[in-house]
Amino acid sequence: MSDIKIIMKKEDYRNILDHCKKGLPNEACGLLAGTVDGNVKTVTKVYLLTNTDNSNEHFSMDPKEQFAALKDARSNGYGLIGNFHSHPESPSRPSEEDKRLAFDPTFEYLILSLQDIDNPVLKAFKVDKEKNVTIHEIEYI
């Protein structure tokens, strides 16, 4: 664990969980907009996007939806601070592909494991340029 903390509304968590469950058996994905104040990253809006890969092992976000989310975030005075995706059949940790595709070391990468559908696990990760992974705390408000 590092000293970075992500603050997220419980309602946003529920929206992510619902989106990911609806996406089953495939991975679901989306973007997170918000603010950064020192070591605290606050999620202010969640964008539920389409996984154009239709796969249970990887995802690609719809480019038009990504652009619309970025435009909306900026128009509301927020920046993109991370993304999320689900792991329908594996734990909440970055796969080798997740690490390879983690292009922004300032981004939060949230992974929701639905391996045990009755006990979903959401974790936040930072992936640095050397592809080292650090877990960040998520606080729900």
In this model, does residue 54 exceed pLDDT 70? yes
Give the pair of three-digit tokens for residue 47.
């964008």
Q: How far is CA 63 from the centre of its chain?
A: 16
pTM for the whole structure: 0.95
Secondary structure (3-state) at 43: strand
Options 3.30.2020.30, 3.40.50.720, 3.40.140.10, 3.30.1130.10; CATH of 5-140: 3.40.140.10
> Using 50, 70 and 90 to split pLDDT, how confident is the model at 2?
low
Query: What DSSP designation does 26 have?
Result: S
Summarize pLDDT for 5-53 with one digit per residue, the tens.
999 999 999 999 999 999 999 999 999 999 999 999 999 999 999 999 9
Neighbours of 8 (CB within 10 A): 23
- Distance (Å, whole) CA 53 – CA 11: 27
Domain extents in the chain: 5-140
- pLDDT value at residue 1: 53
The average pLDDT across 90-115 equals 95
> Using 50, 70 and 90 to split pLDDT, how confident is the model at 3?
confident
Q: Over pLDDT 90: what percentage of the chain?
A: 97
Q: Which residues contact 34 (CB under 8 A, 6 or more apart)?
A: 41, 42, 43, 44, 45, 78, 79, 81
